[in-house]
Structure 1
Amino acid sequence: MKTMKFTPRGFGGDRRDADQVRRDGWREQGVLAVSADDERLSWPERELVRQLGERLYGKREQEARHG
């Protein structure tokens, strides 16, 4: 049986970790993906992220359920 001698795009090789994907998204496309719970941010920064998220996309499900 013959085996494939190449790897189709998107398969095999090294996978980027989530932080690398976010970093590349910011640097290449100006897209920022930030968790409102990211401990690297100060409380005011996390609050700003939460407010921006609510303004653009509405309340998170867990916040909507708890009022």
Structure 2
Amino acid sequence: MSASDRNASGHASLRRTVLIVALLKLACFKIEFAVALGIGSVSLFAEVCSVAGFIKGKSAIHLARV
């Protein structure tokens, strides 16, 4: 196996890991959002929205690097 093959394999593995983490974060966001709406918590809703904005910005940076 050449160095370029290992590098390509590493990139594929990293992309798969980033995708899994992004999907898990999205699932957590949906759950927290639903709970915030369900219990009528403005504080939790604001937290969910602020974290979503932070994650969106950070995810774009990390995906651009991969």
Same fold (TM over 0.5): no
Which structure carries more relative contact order (alpha carbon 8 Å, separation 6+)?
2
Q: TM-score, normalised by structure 1?
A: 0.31
Larger helix fraction of residues? 2
Structure showing greater radius of gyration is 1
Q: TM-score, normalised by structure 2?
A: 0.32
